Structures are given as C-alpha cells and as structure tokens.
Chains A and B, each alone.
Chain A
Amino acid sequence: MSIIDVKYICEVDGYKIYRRDNNNFIVKLHDITLDPSDEEVGVFEYGTYDDVTGVYTPD
C-alpha cells in the first residue's frame, strides 16, 4: 500500500496523521508544543498520505 486517505490534525505535541477509515495513528509530521487551550489544537483537515515517500497532500 502507498497512498492512504488520512486525517491530518493538530494536537498539543504535534501535527499527526491518522487513517481516515479506522482512525489508527500513522505518523507525526511536525513537532510542536501547544497549550491545551490553544485554538489550533483539534483543527484538522483531510488528505492523502504516501507511506513510501512520507509526503502528505491535503485534499
């Protein structure tokens, strides 16, 4: 498998990618440290992730 439909979401410790169909964690793309009250926490979008190249592409 290479191209996966994913959810890209900001969490308190980084920007992470989950499988869109079963919400299983795949990878953390960027580190960040955020206060839980930061308005960015929980903001998400959908896209595709290539698990061979490691490239995320938003829809």
Chain B
Amino acid sequence: MGFSKKNGVDSTLIKKYFSIPKRKVRYLKSSTIKRKEVSYTSSTYNFESETTSEGTTTQWSPTTDYNTWTNGSNAVDGTFWGLTSNKTVAGWDLGTDTTPSSQTGPNGGATEPSGSPSTDASSDNFLYTEASSNQNSNCFVVRTPGFYFGDLVSYIGNNFRLEFFVHAYGTQQHDLFVYLSTATTSNHTEATLIETFTHSHSGSNNGGTSRLTKSSDSSTYDFVTYSSSVWSKVQVDLNSYKDTDETYYIYFVAQNGTGFRADLAIDEIKFCEESVI
C-alpha cells in the first residue's frame, strides 16, 4: 500500500504515524493533552519535630525548626488583634493525638491525601485552639516565617496558593481567618484579610455536622460526627501577591467560639504552584 500527499500532509508523516505501535500512539496522544500539575514549592509545616507538654493552659513555644514562627501576643502589634472586638490574644496549642476535650478537635494529625487523623508518631502533631475553661473567648493568633513568594513560583503565569488541612468539628466552634502582612507583628487593621472560613453546625454535640464556608467562593467543608470527622484540605489563593517584591507573613487567626467545643486545628501547611499550561 502506498502513501500520497493528502490535504497538505506529507505522506512520510502519515507513514510514520501508522508505523508506531498502538500503545505508543496512545501515549503520544495523552501527552499532548493540556493538564494542570501541582507542585509544592515550600517546606511542609506539620509540627512533628515540635514537642511540648500538652495541657489545657500550655501554649505552643516554637523551637528548633519552627523558631521563625511566632505564637500568640508576640505576633500582634498592640494589645489586641482587633477583629470585630478586642478579645484577649492567645497562642495556639501544640496538639498530639486527641485534644483533651470531648466533642471537639481531631483524633490525630492530618495525613495526606485523605485527611484521616493519625496517631502515628510521625504524623500526630498539629496546632489547635484550646477552648476549655472559658478560653473560647480569646482571639488565637499564630504567624508563619516570612516568605518571598517570587522564590516559590517558577513561572509567573502559574497559579500560586497556600494550602493546609483544617479540622473544625464542634457545636461551639471558632471561625478561621487568614491574613497576609509584610510585618513581623501585625493586627486586623494593618494586615490584609485574604480568606475567611465561617463555622456553622447542625445536629447534636457528638453526632452532628460542622461546616466551614469559605468566603471567597462559598465552597464548603464538612466535618461529620465527633468520632469520625476527618481533616479537610483548604486552599487560599495568593495570585495577587506572587509577583510583588515583598516578604510576606501568613497570620492564622481564630475566634468567635462560644464554649469549650471549639478546638479548631490546622496542620500540613505549605505553598504550592499549579501549572496552567
């Protein structure tokens, strides 16, 4: 059988295509499909190297690998964070396995990719807002080290975002706020609020469903029953900041809990870049 030039395609190209084994042709076709690829461009902060005596009044004191984090009032410029009202500023606690209170908090650290709680020693730590003994009325503040986002983005056209796991089961749970600032200490007035996760709950203390609703796109994250709820992976868009010549700090702020069932937890914090080509 011979090949001829047809519709402007050279016969040698047609011959080459038909000479390739079928399996290889499928590979070549799939490789031409445009797809999004996600790569993590920073360290993952999972707090596993941190140790502290877990308790209901002991706030996390960052050490070793985390000595560039700042927790509690040392991260705040002034006396109060100042979101909606002047609440006493508190630091986040370092949790291991479960939090002390029943009916709130995860049963272990977050694990990729499912978010299942883990009590394995390599993945059981997390940060959380200890709410017992009326501490639910506090404003919990922790900030990351500074990041120059230009160092974390390989191509300016790619999407760039913050990603972390959150666990928010509890009938009296806090709301979570994510801020950005170029300052090592900040507050609600000085920092930029870039995302809000608002809590709601339906059902009983043990068997209900807690929900976080993300303000920017109204996406929801459900935590179903106290004993079975898993962590949710959430994302915060940072595209507006990826090509600015600044060092940014991320501030995690939680407040508005109405009782002891307000142990909100975060884990596996990292930055990622998503290829759009």
Contacts and interface: CB of A to CB of B under 8 A. Distances in A.
Given A32-B133, A33-B133, A57-B119, A8 B102 contact: yes
A8 B103 CA distance: 12
B101 A56 contact: no
A50 to B, nearest CB: 11
Contacts of B260: 38-40
A2 to B, nearest CB: 16
Given A39-B259, A39-B260, A58-B107, A34 B100 contact: no
A44 B54 CA distance: 19
Contacts of A30: 54-56, 100
B259 A56 contact: no
A31 B206 CA distance: 23
Interface in B118-157: 119, 132-134
Given A34-B133, A38-B133, A39-B259, A29 B100 contact: yes
Contact of B56 (A31, A45, A58, A59): A31
Interface string A22-40: 0000000111111000111
B133 A43 contact: no
Question: Is the interface on chain B under 10, 10 to 19, 20 to 34, or 35 or more residues?
Answer: 20 to 34
Nearest to B131: A40
B48 interface: no
A32 B98 contact: no
Interface in A1-17: 8, 10, 15
Contacts of B55: 30-32
A52 interface: no
Interface in A42-56: 43-45, 55-56
A36 to B, nearest CB: 13
A34 B132 contact: yes
A58 B106 CA distance: 11
Contact of B102 (A31, A43, A57): A43
B53 to A, nearest CB: 10
Contacts of B56: 30-32
B97 A55 contact: yes
A44 B103 CA distance: 9
Contacts of A29: 100
Contacts of A33: 133
A58 B55 CA distance: 18
A40 B101 contact: yes
14 contacts: A30-B56, A31-B56, A34-B132, A34-B133, A40-B260, A45-B103, A45-B206, A45-B226, A55-B97, A56-B97, A57-B119, A58-B102, A58-B227, A59-B227
